[in-house]
Amino acid sequence: MDLFGGDATVRGLTAYARAGEARIGAAAPFGGHYPLVPGAADIVLSESPMGRAPFDVVVLSHLRWNFVYQRPQHLLSRCARRHRVFFVEEPVFDDGPARMETTMPRPGVWVAVPHLPEGTSEGERVRLQRQLLDTLIAERAVRDFILWYYTPMAIPFTRHLAPSATIYDCMDELSAFAGAPEAMRTYEKELFVRADLVFTGGQSLYESKRTLHPRVFAFPSSVDTAHFAQARDMEREPADQAHIPHPRLGFFGVIDERMDLALLTGIAASRPEWHLVMIGPVVKVDPAQLPQHENIHYLGMKSYDDLPAYLAGWDVALLPFARNASTRFISPTKTPEYLAAGKPVVSTAIRDVVRPYGERGLVRIADTAEEFVAAVECALEEEPETRLRQVDAFLGQSSWDRTWDRMRQLIETVIDTSIAQEDRITGVAIATPAD
């Protein structure tokens, strides 16, 4: 089974001109169906003809490129092999004049950071960001482009643009996160109207959004298996982890309001001989409020390239997420990454972890400290051979290359369909007077 529905997933996106309400869906990986719009069965996705002029991609993101390496970087780095990517971040505020700072962290990717004066009003922020973005587009000769949104909060300063297509890659339910702006839901509604395609970062998020737009596609977290599989053979320890005794229970990712701090405290207190290794930046929570036990080690943020070396020294990998509004729709990218590294995984009952990983026996599910301790004990005692065979078979269906290729084909079909419609409309307009 193809994790993303195989060719059926990308068989025909849409015939916009056809009426009707029938939906034709290709099988989704974890149950349900991918929705395709009326007439979809009549159009087959193109295979990126060589004659196509590559479009540019203007990305509006709430995440910073140099923050934790995750879904946006995986997808857009692959996109940049054929397309120029302009990754526009949220503004920073300082004492200088309004300006756009651009860097090129990798070939084909330009990161653009608006700098705005301290104290800028809300209305002025919109005006300045629009001005700076327009200038960037003009200076870089961006003409044929798509808009790729990660945040609906970019709508006010981008709604005047005329892209070839608009994509909403909805990777989280941002309105449920701590500190989310009140206007988030309003702007997301507008984005659903403007978008040609909506991608979701997981199955539960897809189920939440699928009735809001006729072209919603689930693209759950994928994995660079080769990168994380290095952990299976590494022996040299990073210096800041080498002194930590075993057994080691590890986590990497953002440490924020989604983390179940009481659970961490319970595990550490129940098994003082176990050592919890916590890797990642602390965001939106007071570091002083984090559990402070001798057997909990906060090592800070590490580069994506270094993660396999840390994973190699763990005995069990953890997903100790709280069960709250901010975690209801998450699909942790680290789940398949932990598995690719060959580690047994214990997680709280996050829906997109339970389905498919828990149901397939690839991840142990536990919610209380007592349940977590029992699950970790089982993981420490298991013989890994059977699990690794199952993991490798499952992950063999998934890769970020494959995910991007599916997305690309959908985008190109939207663009091709739109061009064909414009040609037909133009032809009709020209022919009418002669009739």
What is the per-residue pLDDT across 314-345, written as a single tens digit (0 to 9) for each?
A: 999 999 999 988 888 889 999 999 999 999 99
CATH topology of domain 27-36+51-222: Rossmann fold (3.40.50)
Minimal CA–CA distance to 229: which of 333, 302, 303, 308? 308
Phi, psi of 79 (to 5 degrees): -60, -40
What is the per-residue pLDDT across 211-254, written as a single tens digit (0 to 9) for each?
A: 999 999 999 989 999 999 999 999 899 999 999 999 999 999 99
What is the per-residue pLDDT across 40-53, written as a single tens digit (0 to 9) for each?
A: 322 234 444 445 67
Neighbouring C-beta atoms of residue 39, cutoff 10 Å: 18
Find out whether 55 and 415 touch, Cβ atoms under 8 Å: yes
Minimal CA–CA distance to 321: which of 313, 311, 333, 312? 333
**65-89 average pLDDT score:** 96
Find out whether 45 and 11 touch, Cβ atoms under 8 Å: yes
Q: What is the pLDDT of residue 52?
A: 61
Minimal CA–CA distance to 174: which of 62, 318, 23? 62
**382-408 average pLDDT score:** 95
Neighbouring C-beta atoms of residue 247, cutoff 10 Å: 16
**271-288 average pLDDT score:** 95
pTM above 0.85, yes or no: no
Q: Which residues pair with 101 in a beta bridge?
A: 113
Domain limits, the chain: 27-36+51-222, 225-395
Q: What is the pLDDT of residue 324?
A: 86
What is the rounded average pLDDT for all residues in the chain?
86
CA distance 110 to 417: 29
Q: How confident is the model at residue 369 (pLDDT cuts 50, 70, 90)?
A: very high
Q: What is the pLDDT of residue 57?
A: 98
In sequence order, the 6+-apart residues with CB closer than 8 A to the CB of 38 are 14, 15, 18, 19, 20, 21, 22, 23, 214
How do beta strands 296-300 and 165-170 pair? unpaired
Q: Quote the tokens at residue 131.
A: 């001005």
Domains 27-36+51-222 and 225-395 share a fold: yes
Q: In the CATH scheme, what is the code of domain 225-395?
A: 3.40.50.2000
Q: How confident is the model at residue 32 (pLDDT cuts 50, 70, 90)?
A: very low
**244-271 average pLDDT score:** 96
